[in-house]
Amino acid sequence: MQNRMMITGAGSGLGREIALRWAREGWQLALSDVSEPGLQETLKLVREAGGDGFIQRCDVRDYSQLTAFAQACEVKLGGIDVIVNNAGVASGGFFSELSLEDWDWQIAINLMGVVKGCKAFLPLLEKSKGKIINIASMAALMQGPAMSNYNVAKAGVVALSESLLIELAHQEVGVHVVCPSFFQTNLLDSFRGPTPAMKAQVGKLLESSPISAADIADYIYQHVAAGEFMILPHEQGRMAWALKQKNPQLLYDEMTLMADKMRAKAKQTAG
């Protein structure tokens, strides 16, 4: 380990906070995002926090941009020890309202972006015997209503991480998957959904969260160090996951009630 980390979606939110948490330990950071101004700001904060590194604009939908980013890590840092596949977008809407374009967009970024990140950086991780940290969501485990495309993309990230955990043990590459619940973030900037009401509901959930992106970054830091595979930063999330494992039907009934409430609320708003 030479303390070199790559982060996608590092221009804001959780990606930036992960960069700052590791920067405080003096790490070298390779930061990418589709927003160049966001990246400049993150790099400035990283340097103030005691880290260093470089930035490279990268759209995770484009594999050639990710392989170019991996090459830049090799040239500028001599390799990479940890990759954080964090870039993601939010969406919502009942299945009947979502277009196939909504599905393509969501899966191209939130699932295939992670697949491509793992693929592009695996040769470097095999050399360093490094770690993969994939950012999924509690939506991957709980499948809340009116976000089926998001649920499916994030569940795919968990399944990919479980597959890699097993396959890469032989190469001594560690794998972790993080499933945060809602937290205070700018995820709504990228939100795509059929109704403004849906965006407003998600916005309320994000604002009411007692936990910040910085708290989650710190939780990830501690639990990666402890070698934990599935990292659930929210206490409520850990409780809900334990409940689902014990009594899935109870949770499905709860989610069905939630869906009914959401539909009733949407009708009121429309009315």
Q: Which residues are annotated as catalytic? A: 150
Does residue 203 contact residue 188 with C-beta atoms inside 8 Å? yes
Cα 235-26-18 angle, rounded to 5 deg:
30
User: What is the amino acid identity at position 222?
Assistant: Q
Helix/strand/coil percentages in the chain, nearest 5: 60, 15, 30
The phi and psi torsions of 210 (rounded to 5 degrees) equal -80, -5
Give the chain's count of helices (H) and strands (E).
Answer: 11, 7
Question: Could you tell me which of 24, 18, 80 has the C-alpha nearest to residue 52?
Answer: 24
User: What is d(CA 175, CA 211) in angstroms, rounded to the nearest whole number?
Assistant: 24
CB neighbourhood size of 198 (10 A): 23
SS3 (DSSP) at 201: helix
Which token pair is 45? 């904060």
Matching residue, tokens 């590791």: 22
- Report the distance separating Cα 211 and Cα 220, nearest Å: 13
Cβ–Cβ under 8 Å, residues 83 and 174: no
Q: Residue 144 has what DSSP assignment? A: -
Distance of alpha carbon 130 from alpha carbon 214, whole angstroms? 23
